[in-house]
A and B are shown apart, each in its own frame.
Chain A
Amino acid sequence: MHDESPRPLPSSAPFAESFPGLRRRGFLAATAVTGAASLGALALTGCGGGARDGGSGGDGKPKRGGRLRAAFAGGGAGETLDPHLSNLFADVARAKALFDKLADYGADLSAQPRLAEKWEANKALDRWQVTLRKATFHDGRPVTAQDVLYSYRRIADPKKAFRAKASLEPIDLDASRPTGRRSVEFVLKRPTAEFPNVLAAFGAYIVPENATDFDKKPIGSGPFRFVSFAPGRSAVFRRYEEYWDGAPHLDELEFIVANEESARVNALLGGQVEYAHELNPTTARAHEGRGQIGIVRLRNSAMQAFCMKTDRAPFDDKRVREAFFLIADREELVRGALSGAGEIGNDLFGKGYEYYADSLPQREQDLDRARVLLKKAGAENLKVTLDTSAVAAGFTEAASIFRDQAKKAGVTLDVKMGSKDSYWNDILDGGTLCCYRSGAMPIESHVSQRLLTDSTTNATKWKHKDFDALYQQVQSTRDKKERAAVYERMQRRLYTEGGFLVWGFADWILGTARTVKGVERKAPANTLDWARFDKVWLA
């Protein structure tokens, strides 16, 4: 982008010179950030979890040794190893190498015990006894109940803005106390049957008591110990021999920051890294089955939706919402906006996750019925603004595809491009219809964060006392089967008249060198086995 003209400019115009300079940088920032834009988008919403050996079955016997270099999009010179500040995929990948949570998410987003060996609730489900397993920090000290309480209190500090704070809200930390060296009694503010989800919450890592500085020499209990860290560039970790879940196969693990997707792919093809996180569907198609690199598609990793604000016209009429459900040609959206790298959705969050209501019939496009519904609602020749932004892959494409689909039902969608950096905040209260996505999290978390009257990020403005009551019922029901039945009722309601038009679930695509074995293929991004390097080896 060397845009100097070959003519010399009069030297009397240095201001004019620096100004175009600024403009040029501004412009590049705008385009190149698409990579970094994905950054914001990539900021995970949920957390990580547990099934082992899922995809490593055919990879043979693990081999010990070697250094694996993994390329991620990163956060620049402002990066930190403070696990409670984890915001980007790269942050989480580094955090889970150094630290552990009490629980983490399995491939179906159910909470799996990690540092917690077991948990037991009282009858009222508002007091939980958590027993820690025998684990040690990298400096040899055992992980104790004090460390757990310190970590949670640090996260909940009202002066700080740690992301996991909202997830830990059900815990009354003043009343919670250690009941032994390796056991904690958590006192909750209300019955919480899904309390293990809280233990697995995004960013709820256990750090040693009184730890505050994580960039010099962070000490965790994770599978790798700290060697070096250069923010925005690289982090080198070494195997922790005493890891409670078995020492990693790799000697060393290096995280390398490369924000451009093309750079990550080139580095992988050129043998400069062995693992490249987050590839485009087109890249995956070009290299899949060619044998040069391995392509891993993590299914059901990112929900793709249009979000209808149910508290305002025209979407305060559930017939209009249903009409929009029927306008969507989901196959076409997945093909066009996700380049085919994904599956169609059924207006419900959490396909493939625990408690997902997969008995509901798959919704298909039905323009005639949509027109009838709109007519009944008195919304013929409807005009709606659809907010979108280049904040996540496929957003703008999805918006224009849906605009064309709506036109066939007589609805005019006016697509409006918003700012990437403030998009999520802008659409929370503003507008009526917008593009939306979400990383993997348990269905319970999706409901509590987005679909209750007091939810902090209720973008569909779904506020119904009877629905809130169903959620309370779930949280006070001990029996799993009974809970599943209540979840089903909630989902049936959302399926019929909710504000989320969930049209698809995007794959999360990774590239690996041929020597890399043991990479889990079933775990959606955000779960325990995603970006988990202690079970990976180099053949």
Chain B
Amino acid sequence: MTALRSFVARRLLLGVVQTVAVVLLVFTLTEALPGDAAVALAGDDPDPARIAAIREAMHLDRPAWERLGDWAMGLLHGDLGTSLASGRPVSQYIADGFGPTLLLAALTVAVLVPVGFGLGVLAARHEGRLVDRLISSVTLAVYAVPEFALGVLLVTVFALQLGWLPPTAVGFGTDLLGHPAALMLPVLVLLSRPVCSLARLMRAGMIDALASPYVSQARRYGVTGARIRYAHALPNALAPATQQLARTIDWLLSGVIVVEALYVIPGLGTVLLNAVAERDVPVVQGLAVVFGVLTVALNLGADLVAHRLAPRAGVAA
């Protein structure tokens, strides 16, 4: 167990380094972009005197390293800084965007896990037969459809033609749970590709596991088919899928820009998009920290789960 503990410690330390690196990179890249928040705000009225005044009001006239330093000092005290564009705290931006993002992610994962794993196992059980071929080809086809295309298609058919569901979540604000019908289409779009990748991964893992020597051995011992499949083969097949699932959750939590824009859901993706367009560096940095921490935590979690499922595989640190 000490090996595991030191692994976790090393991974957490690495995670901190990675998050710092991401923040530095984001800061450097945003600084390297042409124009700054003052120029972006001035828009099509680039009166030089006005830009200079905005720059001063935003304290952008101070050297970059000083601004980064101040922000980093604040971060040590748990302060993510204030937005250049509005002067509101960055934490407020993130808190406001996180609710809808979390809701969408939770709903998606709640459907994704049973459906993705289930389809994979089902296909593996019927390897090479009609069911497998059907699942494999449909998942491949759906996987190839870009999100925005699927999104537009679903809106056209289910909302505008049939009128079964609302086309967007416009006007519902943060009260999305009160309007579950508005969440159907976005969740469907979010599910489309992860379900396919997860099912295909699961199928491959199951087929590999079912063809492995320990399964043949179990069969020779007369263990029942169901027990072999679910008690012996499944955990081994789950390990790689868990990591894929973690990456999917990370993706869902880091702002799903296309879906948010299409269905007007004010989540973190929208916050990020606006912040980049406004060159609102503190908000972008704050989001980078949050996304960095999420990525590290989720990957660590996935590794630990994978280790628990298949200790034999060891943990690659």
Smallest CB separation, B314 vs chain A (Å)? 11
Q: Is the CB of A262 within 8 A of B262?
A: yes
A212 interface hit (Cβ, 8 Å): no
With a CB–CB cut-off of 8 A, which chain B residues contact A80? 86
Inter-chain contacts of A33 with B (CB < 8 A): 273, 276-277
The number of A-B residue pairs with CB atoms under 8 Å apart is: 257
Q: Which residues of A contact B (CB under 8 A)?
A: 1-2, 4-12, 14-15, 17-18, 21-22, 25-26, 28-29, 32-33, 35-37, 39-41, 43, 45, 69, 71, 75-80, 87, 158-161, 163, 165-166, 230-234, 254, 256-260, 262-263, 266-267, 269-270, 272-273, 418-422, 424-426, 428, 437-438, 456-457
Q: Is B292 an interface residue (CB 8 A)?
A: yes
In the complex, besides A8-B243, A40-B277, 6 extra interface pairs with C-beta distance below 8 angstroms are A6-B196, A22-B25, A25-B272, A259-B270, A273-B170, A425-B46
Do A159 and B171 touch (CB < 8 A)? no
Report which of B201, B258, B275, B315 forms a contact with A1, defined as CB distance below 8 A. Answer: B258
Q: How far is the CA of A79 from the CA of B41 in the complex (A)?
A: 12
Kindly list chain B residues whose C-beta atoms are within 8 Å of the C-beta of A230. Answer: 173-174
Instruction: Tell me which of A1, A37, A258 contacts B264 (CB under 8 A).
Output: A258
B155 at the interface (CB under 8 A from A): yes
Inter-chain contact B291/A18, CB cutoff 8 Å = yes
Assuming the contacts A4-B251, A232-B270, A426-B34, asked whether A39 and B54 have C-beta atoms less than 8 A apart, the reply is no
Which residues of chain A come closer than 8 Å to B196, judged between CB atoms?
Answer: 6
Instruction: Tell whether, in the assembled complex, residue B243 and residue A272 are in contact, meaning their CB atoms are under 8 Å apart.
Output: no
Given contacts A8-B243, A29-B272, A78-B85, contact A18 B295 (CB under 8 A): yes
Chain B residues, Cβ within 8 Å of A1: 146-148, 257-258
A6 touches B200 (CB 8 A): yes
The answer on a CB contact under 8 Å between A78 and B168 is no
B53 touches A21 (CB 8 A): no
User: A203 → chain B, closest Cβ, in Å?
Assistant: 10
Q: Does B311 contact A (CB under 8 A)?
A: no
Which of B25, B44, B47, B146 sits near A40, CB closer than 8 Å?
A: B44
Chain B residues whose C-beta falls within 8 Å of the C-beta of A272 in the assembled complex: 166-168, 170-171
- Stretch binding the partner chain, chosen from B122-130, B211-219, B299-307: B299-307
| Chain A residues with CB below 8 A from B276, complex form | 26, 29, 33
Partner of B201, one of A6, A12, A260: A6
Contacts A14-B18, A22-B22 given; indicate if A233 touches B45 (C-beta within 8 A).
no
Instruction: Select from chain B the residue with minimum beta-carbon distance to A12.
Output: B316
Using Cβ atoms and an 8 Å threshold, which residues of chain A touch B197? 2, 4-6
- Is B236 an interface residue when CB atoms closer than 8 A count as contact? no
What are the residues of chain B within 8 A of A260 when measuring CB–CB? 261-262, 264
Please tell me if the beta carbons of A421 and B53 are within 8 angstroms of each other in the complex.
no
29 residue pairs of the A-B complex, CB under 8 angstroms, read A4-B197, A6-B143, A7-B201, A11-B299, A14-B14, A18-B18, A21-B295, A22-B26, A29-B277, A32-B273, A33-B273, A33-B277, A40-B40, A43-B43, A77-B86, A77-B97, A78-B85, A161-B57, A232-B270, A234-B173, A258-B168, A260-B261, A260-B264, A269-B167, A422-B35, A425-B42, A425-B51, A456-B50, A457-B47
Asked if A36 and B306 make an inter-chain contact with CB atoms under 8 angstroms apart, the answer reads no
Residue of B with least CB distance to A429: B48
- Residues on B with C-beta less than 8 A from A267 are 167-168, 170-171, 264
Chain A CB within 8 A of B255 CB: yes
Known: A28-B257, A231-B86, A266-B167. A9 touches B53 (CB 8 A): no
Docked pose: A75 CA to B146 CA in angstroms? 27
Q: How far is the CA of A475 from the CA of B100 in the complex (A)?
A: 55
CB neighbours of B168 from chain A (8 A): 258, 263, 266-267, 270, 272
Are A2 and B193 in contact (CB-based, < 8 A)? yes
- Are B248's CB and A2's CB within 8 A? yes
Residues of B within 8 A of A (CB): 14-15, 18, 21-22, 25-26, 33-35, 39-51, 53-54, 57, 83, 85-86, 88, 92-93, 96-97, 143, 146-148, 152, 155, 159-160, 163, 166-168, 170-171, 173-174, 190, 192-194, 196-197, 200-201, 240-241, 243-244, 247-248, 250-251, 254-255, 257-258, 261-264, 266, 269-280, 291-292, 295-296, 299, 302-303, 306, 315-317
Query: Chain A residues near B166 (CB, 8 Å)?
Result: 270, 272
Chain A residues with CB under 8 A of B86? 77-80, 231
Q: Would you call A77 and B35 a contact (CB within 8 A)?
A: no
CA distance A422 to B41 in the complex (A): 9
Q: Is the CB of B243 within 8 A of A43?
A: no
Residues of B within 8 A of A256 (CB): 170-171, 264
**Cβ of A40 and Cβ of B93 under 8 Å apart?**
no
Min CB–CB distance B246 → chain A (angstroms): 9
Considering the chains assembled together, what is the distance between the CA atoms of A190 and B115 in angstroms? 75
* CA distance in complex: A45, B45 (Å): 7
Q: Which of chain B's residues have a CB closer than 8 A to the CB of A45?
A: 44-45
Contact A424 B295, beta carbon cutoff 8 Å: no
Bound CA–CA A92/B155 (angstroms)? 30
Which A residue sits closest to B170, measured CB to CB?
A267
Known: A32-B257, A269-B160, A421-B33. A8 touches B240 (CB 8 A): yes
A233: which B residues are within 8 A, CB to CB? 173-174, 266
Contacts of A257 in B (CB 8 A): 264, 266
Q: Are B88 and A78 in contact (CB under 8 A)?
A: yes
Q: Please state if A428 and B46 are interface contacts (CB–CB under 8 Å).
A: yes
Going nearest first, the 9 A-B pairs with the smallest beta carbon separation are A422-B35, A76-B274, A2-B193, A78-B86, A270-B167, A456-B47, A43-B43, A161-B53, A78-B85
